[in-house]
Amino acid sequence: MMVHKYSFDTGFITLALTDSLPEKWARPWNEVRRQRRECYIIEPVIMESYYQLMRKNGMNKESAKELIMKLKSLKSLNIPELDDNDSFSAGLYHIRFNNLSFVDSFVLAIANRLKLKIYTTDGHLKMAAKKINVLY
């Protein structure tokens, strides 16, 4: 059996950081927290999560930053650099799947390049992942 590495989208991260994850996603989150699986999250997802913690969850910026920095300190978390190919792939995905946000287009590009399994709260991202054979 192939061991999957994960990618979490903004919705997943925000739910995880506020202890609001549905039971079905507790296992992958716990695997990452306990260093049993690697996870790759791009900086734009970090930014969106920070924003959502403040805007949608009503946190002050210090509390939101503390949660984000705690997330970034996980040993199993990797923050990949985006390169030219990621930008071009994300641009093509954004054209092909016009309901995808720019950030989700990059999530899809990174997941495809690094062969990651995406955990997402976004139906458009799930549909796009399915169409290009990225696990979700």
Per-residue buried b or exposed e for 63-80, using 16+ beta carbons within 10 Å of the residue's own CB: ebeebbeebeeeebbeee
Give domain status of residue 108, yes or no: yes
- pLDDT of 51 reads 98
Give tens-digit pLDDT for 8-26. Answer: 999 999 999 999 999 999 9
CA torsion sign for 92, 48, 99, 19 is positive
Give domain status of residue 92, yes or no: yes
Give domain status of residue 32, yes or no: yes
Where residue 36 sits, what CATH number does that domain have? 3.40.50.1010
Give domain status of residue 136, yes or no: no
Give domain status of residue 91, yes or no: yes
The domain of 114 spans 5-131
Q: What is residue 76's DSSP assignment?
A: T
Give tens-digit pLDDT for 84-129. Answer: 999 999 999 999 999 999 999 999 999 999 999 999 999 999 999 9
Length of the chain: 136
* Domains of the chain: total: 1
pLDDT band of 29, cuts 50, 70, 90: very high
Alpha helices in the chain, H assignment, sequence order: 10-17, 26-33, 43-55, 61-72, 84-96, 102-114, 123-131
Cα–Cα distance, 102 to 123 (Å, whole number): 15
Give domain status of residue 126, yes or no: yes
